[in-house]
Structure 1
Amino acid sequence: MKINSFKLWGSVAFRMAFNYSALLVLSMLVLLAIFYTQTVNVLQSRIDRHIASNSHRLENTFSEHGEAALAQQIKDILRDGVYSDTEIYLLVNPYGEKVIGNIPAIPHKYKNKEGMVEARIMRNGHEAIGRMYIQRLSDDSKLVVGSDINQQLEIERLFDRASLIAGLIGLLMSIVGALLFRRELRRRVSGIQQIVTHIEAGDLSQRIPIFQQEDEFSRLSRDINSMLDQQQRLMDGVRHISNTIAHNLRTPMTRILLRLRKSEREGAQARDEALQFALQEIEELSVMFDKLLNLAEVESGTRRQIFTPVSLNEVVADVLEFYEPVAEEKSIHLSAIFDAEPITNGDRDLLASAIANLVDNALKYAGEAAIVEVRTAQDAHGTSITVRDNGIGIPAAELSRIGTHFYRLDRSRPGYGLGLASVLAIARLHGGNLEFSDASPGLIVRMTLAPHPA
């Protein structure tokens, strides 16, 4: 039993639910105590006022008409049937002898006292607890006026029992509620724990089931699933990058090695040519690794710390001004349509690099005398830059692969397949995404960015 209790108290869910329920029970008991005190005070005040009023009235009778009139009035009161089940009256002469009343004598311990007292008495042959006011009259006789408070005490005892029962029931309900809360929380958390166990074992395809009920756990499960999706994408990307880097390294290194070995069997001129070839290949590899390092820096999110408000119209205008000579050389009509003033929070240099990459691809693949249009926009969901051309476009089956590391649709052209991967990383760094669609003819590339915080 001790072990079970220890395990229960070791549960955060049980402790939270029990402490909350215990606090609720304690608050209820405090309210009951206040209600009890106020009720008792009201009943006692009413009894005291009634006793004081009767005592004052009888004292006036004695002062005006004497002892005989007082005794007669007490006799009449005891016979009238009003409050006969609770009233207490006693008149004692100066010698301590009972003159009239419904109790035999003043309680022994209060014979020499005056004022309001409570004592156990015999009233009409029955034991009772009376609240009485004892006063000395002018001739040294004593007048006792009081009330049997057994009913009030019974109400108090009843209230005490009800409070105790309510407290015990509240405590029991606290424990039961804590157990039910722990059970429900454990049921919801166990699914997450099982998925985490599978993921730790290397199965990244596992996802947390989403309950139909929309609550905090459902939102947490969706967030964790999104994190797992991102983690799986990153792991797949790492594997893909590792494989591609190995392939891209093996091919040029093999060419360099074969060229150098071949030059060993030939003259000095062949060796010089092989050396120049090796230098060129190594420089291209160095460029590729620089691009990979820049891409890794963007994907890591470290540059998010230096984000500032950026005007997309200004960035697009600067990029288009730089590419205007290239467009003129290819007879391409390069134009822009600007929204009012789209603002985003980001890195100006990275955004300029991403937009330049999109424009460069459009000019490169659209073809001679094509049309390339760049549009900025802003709405409640964020800002966007759209680059549209009327070139040959991309087959629909290949659209989903664009932006993958080292992916190139046309491998006859120079490049490393990292440009659009870099643009996608920059878009995600800025809380957005990169979308591709068919322009019929041509291609539409839309880079979305998160809205600028107000």
Structure 2
Amino acid sequence: MPYDDSSGESLITFEERQTLLEGESVSMVRKHAMFDQDILAVAIPLLDEEILAGAIFLYKPLDDVYSPFEPIRYMLAGMMVFFVGLIIWGGRKIAHQLVLPLRRMEMVSEKMADGDFSRRIHSSSSDEIGSLARSFNCLAESLEEAEADRREFLQNVSHELRTPLSYMRGYTEAMMEGVIQDEEEKQKYLSITHEETARLSRLVNDLLDLAQLEGDSYPMNVEPIAFAQLLHEVAERFRLRLEQKRIHLTLMLDEEVIIEGDADRLEQVVSNLLDNAIRYTGEDDEISIRLEKRGDKALVTINDTGRGIPEEDLKNIMGRFYRVQKSRTRNEGGTGLGLAIVKRIVQKHDATIDIQSEWGKGTAVFIEFPRMQIE
């Protein structure tokens, strides 16, 4: 057995010696008392007829093992520090990219809650956060447009109501205070007041119609309609006005066309379009109404040779209160809501409407309805 004579202590413990007695090798790492350094050792038993006769004790200082790897250890430690720093920096950057747009969205949403829809979120990323930011910007744009439409609508309604109410108030006060004594003049002002009252009534009815049609819950009385008969009936109601302006009306109708829809609302569409055609068509001009089949569709075309619509006004012509010739609208009796109502009714019937016009050469309105197939 190996002993350290200077210290009088064995290099192996009692338990390790017992292991050697059992014929098993022992490995160990411990401090060498003589050399005062850590060693890596192994003891191999020498057996003689299964009796421990001795042992071979081999050892090597651990400094000899560690010293070749000392530079690598420092390099590995430096790389570990670098990678830990890189992970922390990357994590902070990713967190910043995720959190900053969300904070901006929170700030913008607070501004939107206060009625300011002009703020936008700038994000160049193409990930989910960037997609969310773009969706948020689309929402803000839609709300901004809706707010602008609401303000414009209120301004238009206020303007439309203010003028007739001013006339009515001024004339009635003048008559009540005795300013107007002449009976003929009184009748004139009473006639103007009556016309303005009728105009207000039409405006209110149109506003109610538009409000109902813009809601999703508006009831439609859908039924099969012989569309040619409906067009004949509407045209007959305008016969007197057509004769007064000496306008020639031509009807080219396919009597077999059947569609499904609300007859009252479709009469309102045709009446409004025919009224506009008569209003903006001069004497001795022509208006034509054509109904024909186009595959599984029914196409209605109302064409006139009137003054037409300027190209710059065509894209807005079906907007609420939009007018091409604003100075003449009051004399011609329009409320500026007719085409907006027509557009809503057409959309309720899953149909499409298109207006084509050229200034000075007339206007053509095309409405395409789904045609009912009769077995």
TM-score by length of 1: 0.46
- Please tell me the residue identity of whatever aligns with 1:444: A
Aligned CA distance change for structure 1 residues 277 and 381 (closer, same or farther; 3 Å): same
Q: Does 1:391 align with 2:327?
A: no
Shift of 1:279: 4.7
The 1:279/1:236 distance shift into structure 2, 3 A limit, reads same
User: What is the match of residue 340 of structure 2?
Assistant: 421
**Is 1:254 the counterpart of 2:176 in the alignment?**
no
Instruction: Letter of the 1:395 partner, please give it.
Output: P
CA contact (8 A) 2:202 2:335 kept: no
The separation in 1 between residues aligned to 2:298 and 2:270, in whole angstroms, is 13
**Structure-to-structure mapping, 1:45-194, within 5 angstroms:** none
Selected match of 1:445 from 358, 365, 369? 365
Do the aligned partners of residues 204 and 384 (structure 1) sit closer, same or farther apart at CA in structure 2, a change above 3 Å counting? farther
Secondary structure of the corresponding residue to residue 383 of structure 1: strand
Secondary structure class of the residue paired with 2:224: strand
Per the alignment, residue 168 of structure 1 pairs with none
Q: Shift in Å at residue 250 of structure 1?
A: 1.6
Rounded to whole Å, the distance in 2 between the matches of 1:317 and 1:245 is 35
Q: What aligned pairs does 1:320-335 form with structure 2 within 5 A after superposition?
A: 320-335=235-250
**1:317 matched residue in structure 2:** 232
> What is the CA-CA distance between 1:376 and the residue it aligns to?
2.2
Deviation at 1:436, TM superposition (A): 1.3
Is the contact made by 2:220 and 2:262 (CA closer than 8 Å) also made in structure 1? Answer: no
Contact 1:393 1:443 in 2 (8 A): yes
Provide the identity percentage: 27
- Relative distance call for 1:290 and 1:194 in structure 2 (3 A) is same
* Structure 1 residues 249 and 310: alpha-carbon distance in aligned structure 2, compared to 1, 3 A threshold: same
Query: Aligned residues, how many?
Result: 259
Aligned residues of 2:199 and 2:333 also touching (Cα < 8 A):
no
Asked if 1:281 is matched to 2:173, the reply is no
Distance between the aligned counterparts of 1:320 and 1:234, measured in 2? 37
Once the two structures are TM-superposed, the CA of residue 233 in structure 1 deviates from its matched residue by: 6.7
Distance (whole Å) between structure 2 residues aligned to residue 447 and residue 294 of structure 1: 20
Counterpart contact for 1:298–1:425, Cα < 8 Å: yes
Superposed CA offset, 1:126-183 (max 9, x none): xxxxxxxxxxxxxxxxxxxxxxxxxxxxxxxxxxxxxxxxxxxxxxxxxxxxxxxxxx
Equivalent residue letter for 2:315: S
Q: Would the alpha carbon gap of residues 372 and 196 (structure 1) be closer, same or farther in structure 2, given more than 3 Å must change?
A: farther
1:207 Cα shift? Answer: 11
Separation in structure 2 between the aligned mates of residue 204 and residue 451 of structure 1, nearest angstrom: 43
- Equivalent residue for 2:62? none
Matched, 1:299 2:214: yes
Task: Summarize deviations over 1:369-391 as a string: whole Å, max 9, x none.
Answer: 22212122444574332111122
Pick one of 137, 154, 179 that aligns with 1:266.
179
For the structure 1 residues 278 and 352, does the alpha-carbon distance in structure 2 shift closer, same or farther, using more than 3 Å as the test? Answer: closer
Q: In the alignment, what sits opposite 2:92?
A: none
145, 151, 161: which is aligned to 1:239? 151
1:254 and 1:331, CA in 2 relative to 1: closer, same or farther beyond 3 A? Answer: closer
TM-superposed deviation, 1:283: 3.6
Aligned match of 2:64:
none
Cα distance in 2 between the residues matched to 1:312 and 1:196:
50
User: CA–CA distance in 1 between the matches of 2:288 and 2:368?
Assistant: 16
Number of the residue aligned with 1:376: 291
What's the CA shift for 1:437?
Answer: 1.0
CA distance in 2, matches of 1:339, 1:196: 56
Question: Residue 198 and residue 251 in structure 1: after superposition, are their counterparts in 2 closer, same or farther (change >3 A)?
Answer: same
Distance 1:450 1:195, change over 3 A: farther
Q: 2-side partners of 1:373 and 1:277: how far apart? A: 34
Gaps of 5+ in 1: 1-185, 209-217
Contact 1:357-1:419 at 8 Å conserved across structures? yes
Alpha-carbon RMSD across the aligned residues, in angstroms, is: 4.5
Change (3 A) 1:326 1:250: closer
Task: Give the aligned residue type for 1:346.
Answer: G
User: Conserved in 2, the CA contact under 8 Å of 1:385 and 1:447?
Assistant: yes
